[in-house]
């Protein structure tokens, strides 16, 4: 069964460093997302990406964050100058259907980021 894959599974970084989290969405999907879950809290939407551009972003997704689809398969989340409060599990997700459809949003297994 096709799946969304994320790397790394866990990254530890020093405050102020840049981090890139990588995702390979399901191959025929066109809509890509990043969500975040701070430990013990609910999952929060960060950004959606379609047709090589951001289609929507939350207030969490400030200038510190950026997303990119550098080639036909990878979808990356870059966090510049990480802060302690960026420590969280970051989930990549993808879907095949456009908004309004009833299709499933497929999540990856998550990348746990720890900022020291």
Contact criterion met (CB below 8 Å) for 77 and 92: yes
Contact criterion met (CB below 8 Å) for 68 and 78: yes
DSSP SS3 for 58:
coil
Binders in 10-39 for another protein, by CB under 8 A: 30-31, 33, 35
Among 20, 24, 43, 60, contact with another protein (rule: CB under 8 A): 43
Report which of 108, 94, 86, 90 is spatially closest to residue 18, judged by C-alpha positions.
Answer: 86
Decide: is 56 part of the binding site for another protein (CB under 8 A): yes
Check the CA dihedral 22-24-29-30 and report its sign.
positive
The piece of 12-20, 65-73, 74-82, 97-105 that touches another protein (CB under 8 A) is 97-105
- Kindly tell me which of 89 and 115 has the beta carbon lying closer to another protein: 89
Residues in contact with another protein by CB under 8 A are: 30-31, 33, 35, 41-45, 48-51, 55-56, 58, 89, 91, 95, 97-100, 102, 104-110, 112
């Amino acid at each position: 069964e096709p799946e969304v894959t994320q790397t790394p599974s866990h990254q530890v970084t020093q405050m102020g460093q840049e981090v890139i989290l990588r995702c390979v969405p399901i191959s025929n999907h066109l809509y890509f997302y990043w969500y975040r879950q701070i430990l013990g809290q609910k999952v929060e939407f960060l950004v959606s990406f379609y047709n090589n551009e951001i289609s929507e972003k939350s207030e969490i997704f400030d200038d510190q964050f950026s997303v990119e689809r550098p080639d036909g398969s990878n979808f990356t989340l870059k966090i510049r100058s990480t802060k302690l409060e960026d420590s969280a599990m970051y989930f990549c997700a993808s879907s095949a259907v456009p908004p309004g459809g009833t299709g499933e949003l497929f999540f990856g297994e998550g990348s746990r980021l720890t900022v020291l």
